[in-house]
Amino acid sequence: MCGIVGYVGHSDGRVNAGHNALDVVLEGLRRLEYRGYDSAGIAVVADGTISSRKKSGKLNNLISELEARPLPESLTGIGHTRWATHGGPTDQNAHPHLADGGKLALIHNGIIENFAELKQELLAKGVTFQSETDTEVAAALLGDIYRNQLGGDAAKGGLTRAMQLACQRLEGAFTLLAVHADQPDVVVAARRNSPLVVGLGEGENFLGSDVSGFIDYTRRAVELGQDQIVTITADAVDITDFYGAPAQGKEYEVNWDPASAEKGGFPSFMEKEIHDQPDAVLQTLLGRSDIHGKLTLDELRIDPQLLKTVDKIIVLACGTSAYAGQVAKYAIENWCRIPTEVELSHEFRYRDPIVDENTLIVSISQSGETMDTLMAVRYAKEQGAKTVSICNTNGSTIPRESDAVLYTHAGPEIAVASTKAFLAQITAAYLLGLYLAQLRGNKFQGEIKDILADLGKIPAKIQRILDNEAQIKELGQSMADAKSVLFLGRHVGFPVAMEGALKLKELAYIHAEGFAAGELKHGPIALIEEGQPVFVVVPSPRGRDSLHAKVVSNIQEVRARGAKTIVIAEEGDEAVKAYAEHVFYIPETPTLLAPLLATVPLQIFALALASAKGYDVDQPRNLAKSVTVE
């Protein structure tokens, strides 16, 4: 949530075509739209002044404002897309906020928890405020320190020193970017518990919430650590801590290009990303095992001897990632015989959980910046637990603060509602479970090799589903008037059902719920009435302990009460046909791996239904891609 871009370019004083700060920052904001936002703004430094424009609504509103009231050409600028927290999504509350008599501009991602106390202090000094935001308080504090404590004297450290002193006063989670008219070739930024990355150019440097903000200009990036301040000019990047001590970032190469973030001919990013899933799973599997089928997870830097002592696993995640964790629980307990719990990150640390040095915490986050999960991981580490992150974003905070990381390789996911990242997370969790089973001797090497071979067949099976998506799309389009859809599943089908319901809620804004099919008679069956659509994820009829017959009975129960039954079943399962109005078949695969296939038709259905209703499937209302505040 909230996109941030900063730029300083061309120290020779010339603005090259395409490298006007306004152009760079606007393009960065376009790239960051996927994070979710409800207002946008930009400020540039030119001719000894700050010039700023900001508008509520989408980026096009800001662009229209800029066309009506152009900004001067500039070498230095900052830009922001805001997701409202303090104060509604209005022009006044949009960023940037100005201070120091209009000579300083500041943008902010996060929440300043002690803003009320600071605001009272500043009001007593005669400062006036134009907005309802905590951000304007931070801007006013920074301006007050710059002007009244440092006297606006560059010899005393100027804007960088003012930012250090301001951050010592701030509490909460924040990324701050600031420019000042007195220092026209400088952008100063700070981060605490909120994402920020530096882009390294030639004669120009960049800042962004993530690398999408500058991927059009450079693939060289620098990770910033916790409680660090960075000052960029066209030719230098200087990093300190909040107290001015020199600090270091970690440089890395971005391994995807701008074309990866484009729609590739599909009408939406989400549809493209659904079709990216065979490759996302394949890329997550590649390079994880040797020629003998033995897993070699080089990113797992925890001593294998310590992993052998683990007696409990807790998976921490939110939303879709939590459902990936629910799938992982079934596989890890089956393969490793280790008790495994799945906790919502935002509940975990507030209930005094039982965690010790024999607990393995597995956090799952697409962005690696999910604040609830980050704080839960920190809490677990304080209790002595070992921590492993499953993440799709290199260099993000949660992997950096975990003891080990298992990166998914799904590529950039632009649509707010997660699809390919979800399948990649499940795949990575399977690899972790198999690695632990290999390490602890719970599985013979031949068994692990066979499961890996089955995983290797999954991409082609997903592609088969995608090649036959027309039937699912047609159903989704025909149900655009549906007011409620229910989803049933058992065993690994239960989290699939919950994820199917979540996708429909996110995209189509209708009531949708996923239930454990065995719970049907314990209450949910009261919801069934004539015409009620019910999706049922049916387990394979193969296997000694198959739940197939029980779930077929559930289909009969809801159909007898007037439900419209829509079934996801394994190819060759003829028994379900008599009880379903629609059957979508998925290829045969071992039960524990079935979620990687059964999820795909539900994604396609939700996309088609929401599209038929005319909704923006890439940016659903009220949602942000990564939740970076608690």
Quote the crossing angle between the two packed helices 420-440 and 445-456, to the nearest 10°: 170
Is there a contact between 388 and 432 (Cβ–Cβ < 8 Å)? yes
**How confident is the model at residue 526, as a pLDDT?**
87
- Name the least confident of 136-145, 439-448, 499-508: 439-448
Is there a contact between 8 and 204 (Cβ–Cβ < 8 Å)? yes
- pLDDT averaged over the chain? 91
**How confident is the model at residue 303, as a pLDDT?**
85
Pair of tokens at residue 544: 């000694």
pLDDT of 17 strictly over 50: no
Strand 220-223 with 228-232, pairing: unpaired
Neighbours of 460 (CB within 10 A): 12
Alpha helices in 170-268 (DSSP H): none
Strand 484-489 with 511-516, pairing: parallel
Classify domain 261-456 at the CATH superfamily level: Glucose-6-phosphate isomerase like protein; domain 1 (3.40.50.10490)
Is there a contact between 624 and 492 (Cβ–Cβ < 8 Å)? no
Active site annotation includes 625 = yes
Pair of tokens at residue 438: 């290999």
**Pairwise pLDDT comparison (89 vs 488), residue with the higher score:** 488
Pair of tokens at residue 267: 């009408």
Q: Side by side, which strands form the sheet with 39-46?
A: 49-56, 39-46, 76-82, 3-9, 204-208, 197-200, 220-223, 250-253
- Between CA 458 and CA 283 the distance in angstroms is 12
Rounded average pLDDT over 396-405: 90
- Between CA 425 and CA 421 the distance in angstroms is 6
**How confident is the model at residue 113, as a pLDDT?**
85
Is there a contact between 35 and 81 (Cβ–Cβ < 8 Å)? yes
Within a 13 Å sphere around the CA of 7, how many CA atoms are in the beta-carbon half?
34
**How confident is the model at residue 43, as a pLDDT?**
98
Chain centroid, CA 250 distance in Å: 21
Task: Break the chain into its structural domains and give their ranges.
Answer: 3-27+58-184+192-236, 261-456, 467-630
In percent, the amount of the chain with pLDDT more than 90 equals 70
Question: What are the Cα distances from residue 5, in Å, to 175, 195, 211, 402?
Answer: 11, 12, 10, 27
pLDDT in tens, 103-155: 999 999 888 989 999 999 999 999 999 999 999 999 999 999 999 999 988 77
Q: Identify the bridge partners of residue 97 per DSSP, sorted by sequence position.
A: 106
What dotted CATH number matches 3-27+58-184+192-236?
A: 3.60.20.10
Q: CB within 8 A of 124, min separation 6: which ones? A: none
Angle at 317 between CA 314 and CA 319, to 5 degrees: 140
Strand 3-9 with 76-82, pairing: antiparallel
Coil vs helix vs strand at 92: coil
**Among 323, 469, 417, 316, which residue's Cα sits nearest to residue 625?**
417
Pair of tokens at residue 275: 């079709």
Rounded average pLDDT over 442-447: 91
**How confident is the model at residue 27, as a pLDDT?**
94
Rounded average pLDDT over 568-576: 92
pLDDT in tens, 218-260: 999 998 988 999 999 999 999 999 999 999 998 988 877 776 6
Please tell me which residue in 2, 167, 318, 391 is annotated as part of the active site: 2
- Between CA 96 and CA 73 the distance in angstroms is 18
Within a 13 Å sphere around the CA of 101, how many CA atoms are in the beta-carbon half?
8
CATH class of 467-630: alpha beta
Rounded average pLDDT over 301-312: 87
**How confident is the model at residue 18, as a pLDDT?**
43
Rounded average pLDDT over 274-289: 89
The secondary structure of the chain in percent helix, strand, coil, rounded to multiples of 5, reads: 40, 25, 35
**How confident is the model at residue 290, as a pLDDT?**
75
3-state secondary structure 332-361: HHHHHCCCEEEEEHHHHCCCCCCCCCCEEE
Pair of tokens at residue 140: 């006013």
Q: Which residue, chain included where needed, has tokens 């001719």?
A: 47
- Between CA 1 and CA 225 the distance in angstroms is 19
Q: Which residue, chain included where needed, has tokens 């605001």?
A: 119
Question: What are the Cα distances from residue 113, in Å, to 77, 137, 141, 211?
Answer: 27, 11, 14, 27
Residue 13 banded pLDDT, cuts 50, 70, 90: very low
Q: Side by side, which strands form the sheet with 228-232?
A: 97-99, 104-112, 172-180, 183-192, 228-232, 237-241
Say whether 261-456 and 3-27+58-184+192-236 share the same fold. no
pLDDT of 462 strictly over 70: yes
pLDDT in tens, 167-226: 999 998 899 999 999 999 999 999 997 889 999 999 999 999 888 899 989 999 998 988
Pair of tokens at residue 160: 């960088």
- Between CA 206 and CA 11 the distance in angstroms is 14
Please tell me which residue in 272, 503, 564, 625 is annotated as part of the active site: 625
DSSP state of 543: S
Q: Where are the beta strands (DSSP E) in 10-133?
A: 39-46, 49-56, 76-82, 97-99, 104-112
Active site annotation includes 2 = yes
Q: Which residue, chain included where needed, has tokens 């690994």?
A: 492
Q: How many residues does the chain have?
A: 630
pLDDT in tens, 51-96: 999 999 989 999 999 999 999 999 999 999 987 778 888 999 999 9
Q: Identify the bridge partners of residue 187 per DSSP, sorted by sequence position.
A: 232
Rounded average pLDDT over 488-494: 95
Residue 450 banded pLDDT, cuts 50, 70, 90: very high
Pair of tokens at residue 200: 């390294």
**How confident is the model at residue 629, as a pLDDT?**
58
DSSP state of 259: G
Is there a contact between 526 and 532 (Cβ–Cβ < 8 Å)? no
pTM of the predicted protein model: 0.76
Neighbours of 305 (CB within 10 A): 8
DSSP state of 159: H
- Between CA 189 and CA 175 the distance in angstroms is 7
